[in-house]
Amino acid sequence: MSDYLAPTQDMAFVLRHIAKLDEICTLGDFEEITADDLDAVLEEAGRFASEVIAPTNRIGDTQGSSRNPDGSITTPEGFQTAYKSYVQAGWGAAPFEAEWGGGNQPWVLGCAISEMLTAANLAFSLCPMLNQGAIHLLSSHGTDEQKARWLPKLISGEWSGTMNLTEPQAGSDVGSLTTKAVRQDDGSYRLSGQKIFITWGEHDLTDNIVHLVLARTPDAAPGTKGISCFIAPKFKVNPDGSLGERNDIHCVSIEHKMGIHASPTCVLQYGESSDGAVAEIVGEEQQGMRYMFTMMNNARLGVGIQGLAVSERALQQAMAFAQERRQGRTLTSEPGQQVPIVAHPNVKRMLLTMKSVIEAMRCLLYYSAAFVDWADHSPSSQDAALAQERVDLLTPLCKAWCTDWANEITSLNIQIHGGMGYVEETGAAQHYRDVRIAAIYEGTNGIQALDLIGRKLPIRGGAAIVELLTEIAEVGTVLTGFAGRGQRDGGSTQPDNHAESLANMWPALAQALEATTSATQWLAENPGEPAMAGATPYLKLLASLVAGWLMAKSALAAHAELAQLDGTGAETQKKSSLLKSKILTAEFFCTQILPTATALLPATTSGDRPLTAIDETLRAN
């Protein structure tokens, strides 16, 4: 398996030009942060990820985590040391409030740090990712006393958090859960029941594990409306903050999975040997699902980052292999002379597909994360509300589109390796196996599509999606202005070598915009089963359009920077190469990838008749 090198230059470019990080840093909470500080953070986080975390990736896959007879978990060799270094370096605390020990850095910068950590080792990164979700939930809905008790240790990483939702009979239908929560005279609760698929539900990396658990009180309403949210720690916490006796929460088994072997996916039993595990409620009874969505939406963005991160790792491996592996001839090579396979057009196409989509993922995810910062820190309540709407609208796209593509990109990595990609020793298969879960957990991608059309398109009577499509249309004026400027740049004597590339982006963007606008209107006019039948192709169509738009904006920013470059030194040449690459990958995405998404319009608007009719065919077989 190839080494991981964080793409900090591309990350910094997207943070500045797509996420507009400089503008975020003008907010009162971040005003002490400078651009130089941010570059230093990226470089150091990249070094940490590649040198400390990445070496554990292959070990984690081959050894896996194991359950001991007493229910405890032993993580793979090197994981405890790596996690201790992670806590000491303070990476997990970076995007959280200084009041509770956080680094008070923008959330979008925290997402960049998460990308590097995840690319280094997906299985390892799941523990910090879920911890971040727990912090968000408690920060948003916990009492002052709960924040003081739980947040400092969670933010530091000394303790970890989990999300306990589903059960054997429930699956994605969380409203079917049966775990009971019985209120006690002292105001605490006792939990009894079983939870499955609890990522890092038991492990040996932290002193305590803080479980956030969905359960039902005896008189609760049926379905999701009757669910409450509880805090149930592995070890009870004494009034002075020290750890007390073990709570009645035990790991009865771990899953043997296709990938992410180092991440213990636990079955947890609550109240197996007592009247229940001791817990405290978050907020009010029967409001738990609303609270948990704070954590889930955070996690869904995090899962999108997983798709990006593992794809980046796969691309780096594919690039290294394609440059080293010699096989076959080109039309111009000498007889008997083998060439690196990167010289073959089909391999180039696969690599460019991987690279352009990865850059589009990064644009989409960082752009969305930037709105989290605006929603949380904007001085204007109206601006904050609009930013939150944009986050809500884009979250299903980030989670589903990025993880669907991650499956394709990691598969292309195997394809580029040829037969050796199918052999475990190269490590290419691990990326494919590891990332396959990302399209499933935190709400399957089909659920993301239903959420998009059922909850997000109707935001403010449909105004939120209309505003987004209007913004996308505005880039057309800029791109079409480059038509015919390939020979002369705005009347100057110097040709604009990239004008044709920029102008080429708009026709496909315009077609995708027209298709998406038509699909959006059709969905609004055909609610219910017809719209649900077209939800998945619509999500792919909309996400591809937004990604293409952001890639075009990226190319325009690169073009503007190129025009300002001065000098001929090595650093200037390096910067020039990066900027030219940004323009070319954007052109490839818009002209080669985006047109296939436009073809999803008929699938979106065909209604549910074909799906209903197929029932007879299925029964016939």
Query: What pLDDT, in 10s, does the model give residues 76-118?
Result: 999 999 999 999 999 999 999 889 999 889 999 999 999 999 9
Cβ atoms within 10 Å of 176's Cβ, excluding its own: 14
Pair 577, 351: CB distance under 8 Å: no
Nearest-angstrom CA–CA distance, 577 and 592: 22
Q: How many CA atoms lie within 13 A of 107 on its CB side?
A: 23
Nearest-angstrom CA–CA distance, 436 and 441: 10
Nearest-angstrom CA–CA distance, 562 and 539: 34
Across residues 407-413, what is the average pLDDT?
98
pLDDT, residue 200, reads 98
Q: Which residue has the higher pLDDT, 75 or 612?
A: 75
Q: Which residue has the higher pLDDT, 494 or 387?
A: 387
Pair 253, 272: CB distance under 8 Å: no
Task: Kindly report, residue by residue over 428-438, the tens digit of the pLDDT.
Answer: 999 999 999 99
pLDDT for 72 beyond 60: yes
Backbone φ and ψ for 65, nearest 5 degrees, come out as -90, 150
Instruction: Return the biggest CA–CA distance within the chain.
Output: 87
Q: How many CA atoms lie within 13 A of 608 on its CB side?
A: 12
* Single-letter residue type at 518: S
pLDDT for 489 beyond 50: no
302 pLDDT band, cuts 50/70/90, is very high
- What are the domain boundaries of the chain? 55-89+121-286, 455-621
Mean of the per-residue pLDDT values for the chain?
93
Residue 424 catalytic? no
Determine which of 59-63, 347-351, 376-380 has the lowest per-residue pLDDT on average: 376-380
pLDDT, residue 367, reads 98
Nearest-angstrom CA–CA distance, 260 and 61: 7
Q: In whole angstroms, how far apart are CA 240 and each of 149, 159, 208, 236? A: 9, 16, 15, 12
Nearest-angstrom CA–CA distance, 269 and 475: 54
Task: Kindly report, residue by residue over 586-610, the tens digit of the pLDDT.
Answer: 999 999 999 999 999 999 999 988 7
pLDDT for 322 beyond 60: yes
620 pLDDT band, cuts 50/70/90, is low
Determine which of 289-303, 445-459, 531-545 has the lowest per-residue pLDDT on average: 289-303
Which CATH number is 455-621's, of 3.30.1380, 1.10.10, 1.10.3470, 1.20.140?
Answer: 1.20.140
Across residues 48-65, what is the average pLDDT?
97
Nearest-angstrom CA–CA distance, 152 and 206: 14
Question: What single-letter DSSP state applies at residue 326?
Answer: B
pLDDT, residue 621, reads 54
Nearest-angstrom CA–CA distance, 152 and 161: 12
Dump the DSSP string for 74-91: EPPTTHHHHHHHHHHHTG
Residue where the block lists tokens 């990308």: 115
Residue where the block lists tokens 């990865």: 358
Q: CB burial class (10 A; 0-12, 13-18, 19+) of residue 152? A: middle
16 pLDDT band, cuts 50/70/90, is very high
Out of 442, 467, 514, 616, the active site residue is 442
Helix (H) or strand (E) segment spanning residue 269: strand 265-270
Pair 174, 162: CB distance under 8 Å: no
Nearest-angstrom CA–CA distance, 379 and 151: 25
pLDDT, residue 2, reads 67
492 pLDDT band, cuts 50/70/90, is very low
pLDDT for 483 beyond 90: no
491 pLDDT band, cuts 50/70/90, is very low
Calculate what percentage of the chain has a pLDDT beyond 70: 97
pLDDT for 490 beyond 60: no
Alpha helices, DSSP H only, in 64-157?
79-89, 107-120, 122-141, 144-156
Pair 423, 112: CB distance under 8 Å: no
Task: Kindly report, residue by residue over 240-285, the tens digit of the pLDDT.
Answer: 999 999 999 999 999 999 999 999 999 999 998 899 999 999 999 9
Residue where the block lists tokens 């090595």: 570
Tokens of 475: 């880039």
Task: Kindly report, residue by residue over 325-347, the tens digit of the pLDDT.
Answer: 988 888 888 888 899 999 999 99
Across residues 287-305, what is the average pLDDT?
88
Three-state DSSP class for residue 261 = coil
pLDDT for 474 beyond 60: yes
Which CATH number is 55-89+121-286's, of 3.90.1150.10, 2.60.40.10, 2.40.110.20, 2.40.160.40?
Answer: 2.40.110.20
Tokens of 264: 């213990």
